[in-house]
Amino acid sequence: MAGIVVVFDFDKTIIDCDSDNWVVDDLGATRRFDELLESLPWNSAIDRMMGELHSQGKTIEEISNSLKKAPLSPHTIAAIKSAHSLGCELRIVSDANLFFIETILNHHGLVGYFSEINTNPGYVDEEGRLRIFPYHDFTTSSHGCCLCPPNMCKGKVIERIRTSAFAVEKNRFIYLGDGKGDYCPSLELNEGDYVMPRKNYPLWELICNDPQALKAAIHEWSDAEELKTVLLRLINDSVSADLNNAARLLSADCKLQTIPLSPHEPLPKALPVPH
């Protein structure tokens, strides 16, 4: 098994759009959503927007059908399946919401490839209205990160994932993302890790401004086909490097065990035979 954890952002990384905007635009609520954003944080505004759509008679089925039309490239699907088959552990860290992400992944038969989805909670209440809540409840306590939006610090999520991953000997991370919220977790990566920013998107621009701020190696991508090519190359390179290191350690260990004794060095004493 490859000791690699691959962490995907969702919007504009796995899917080629922003899932919140996709639904709002598809259901004809773009102008109202823009108005809500003038006075509310994004996460709070999308929850309010879902409530207003419900009051207008929009159903969960309509929202689900809209999500199923969100663009997801066959190249991205192939990359996910290939990375999983190579023994990588796949996780999602996203500022979307659980209902949107699971609806899209289930539609494409991908949800089972991910061991964990870290995102804003989203569920349908008893009235059939979609509720969306913040990952970090900033109304009671702040996560304390000045780089991230109030509802979610992805860097803190990566810290937790790293702790659990090291416990089971997953020692290398590959992080894929596009937005400003993906910069904080990129800073949490170590030497030997990789960050894959989408070219000409906010994460890529932030990294280009100060590439030395990151310890991880940087490998950009532009579209889904390049995402697949770069990701699988990094996985294969990592596996080959780990195998070579293991072979060198084994070879060194064997040499140590076969070093001849000095002519003046006494032979080791035999162990006493138990009676």
Give me the active site residues, please: 9, 11
Separation of alpha carbons 92 and 105, rounded Å: 11
CB atoms inside a 10 Å sphere around CB 22: 20
Secondary structure (3-state) at 213: helix
Separation of alpha carbons 155 and 186, rounded Å: 8
DSSP state for residue 265 in the 8-state scheme: S
Contact between 79 and 88 under an 8 Å Cβ cutoff? The reply is: no
Contact between 63 and 49 under an 8 Å Cβ cutoff? The reply is: no
Contact between 218 and 241 under an 8 Å Cβ cutoff? The reply is: no
The runs of H, that is alpha helices, within 202-223 are 202-209
Separation of alpha carbons 121 and 47, rounded Å: 11
* Apex 69 CA angle, 22 and 57, nearest 5: 65
| Length in residues, the chain | 275
